[in-house]
Amino acid sequence: MQLTYSAEIEAIRTDAGFSKPVVALESTIITHGMPYPQNLDVARAVEQEVRDAGAVPATIAILNGSLHIGLDPEQLTDLAQARDVAKVSRADMAFVMAQGKSGATTVAATMIAAQAAGIEVFATGGIGGVHRGAEFTFDISADLRELALTDTIVVAAGAKAILDIPKTMEVLETYGVPVIAYGQDEMPAFWSQKSDIPAPLRCDTPQ
């Protein structure tokens, strides 16, 4: 997979990986999550949070068919104002790149790109999951299977609250994905810290 690195990420690339910790960030929040200029403000704020913690942010997106690992400030601004940007998951990632189009990466696509780039940690908001009524529609996010396929650690605020969280947990268990709550015994629910759903695993420190 051909990757294009931002100047900031390129500067810390080594034969062994990276000389500083790198955190991958998705880009659908920029193109599909909120309007301009709030989307740009949030993207910049999230990147700054990563920098303040001593790591380097790598916002991931497809620009004109090229998979970018990290966006320069101008690219971030352009993406925030772009129209007709594809929302890219595993199923359409190769197609968008082959067509030379631009696309914002979902959780699944960002995991794929992060693993290809050798980035071990990916931070996001809420992951996709099992939709309510999925026993009739089979509407299940590709994010869940991707969590089982990649080696990327995904730090998230849980599954989006509009989803069927118990069924999401069942699918993750079936796929063998370790789901670890940080500092609490319940699963978060995106904008809520707790969901009344017990977490299967818990840890209280990054170590």
Q: Is 26 a catalytic residue?
A: yes
Candidates 8, 47, 146, 160; catalytic one: 160
Q: Contact, 84 vs 22, CB < 8 A?
A: no
Type of residue found at 194: K
Residue 101 annotated among the catalytic residues of the structure: no
- Residues 6 or more apart whose CB falls under 8 angstroms from that of 154 comprise 107, 111, 122, 123, 124, 127, 147
Q: Rg of the chain over CA atoms, in angstroms? A: 17
Q: How many residues does the chain have?
A: 207
Q: Which of 26, 47, 146, 167 is catalytic?
A: 26
Whether the bond into 37 is cis, omega within 30 of 0: yes
Separation between Cα atoms, residue 105 and residue 152, nearest integer Å: 15
Whether the CB-CB separation of 190 and 201 falls below 8 Å is answered with: no
How far is the C-alpha of 69 from the C-alpha of 179, rounded, in Å? 26
The span from the CA of 124 to the CA of 77, in Å, is: 19
* Residues identified as active-site: 26, 160
